[in-house]
Amino acid sequence: MDARSGGAATLLGALNDACEDFQRYGQQIAATHGPMHWELIGRIGPGEAPFALVGVVLRYDRTTVDLGVDLWVREGAFEVSGYGTVDGRRLLVDLPDVLTEDLDEAIDVLREYTRRLCSYRNVLDEVA
């Protein structure tokens, strides 16, 4: 595998790891909060620029919490952002956007933002 292929494989592996982390997080929250619905988000999509989104949606009573990390490729650089919203309107957490040309740094931010978002253990208690 050449360097470009290796970089692509490393990025896909990091996105897969993030999906697994959000999946475990959704399962853990569901196990501690009883009757609720959670859904894994893992999407690569067309848009204004190539992007990937990983995260989880938690639905409890009438409250919906979205937690996720976006990774975009814009003008030769990676842009990574992390967020949490309540009912699609209220911002729960807004992690700083990081713009970098370095793939390793983008992957490190993806992992750190995933770790931080998956550390919200009482998120439903705080917003419901």
Instruction: Report how far Cα 4 is from the mean position of its chain's Cα atoms.
Output: 24
Looking at residue 47, what is its pLDDT?
75
Q: What is the pLDDT of residue 128?
A: 60
Total structural domains within the chain = 1
pLDDT of the chain along its 128 residues, tens only?
A: 888 888 889 999 999 999 999 999 999 999 988 788 999 999 998 778 899 999 999 998 888 999 999 999 998 999 999 999 999 888 899 999 999 999 999 999 999 999 999 998 777 777 76
86-125 as b/e: b if 16+ CB within 10 A: beeeeebeebeebeeeebeebbebbbebbeebbebeebbe
List the domain range (segments joined by +) for residue 62.
Answer: 3-127
How far is the C-alpha of 109 from the C-alpha of 128, rounded, in Å?
29
CA angle at residue 96 from 40 to 85, to 5 degrees?
40
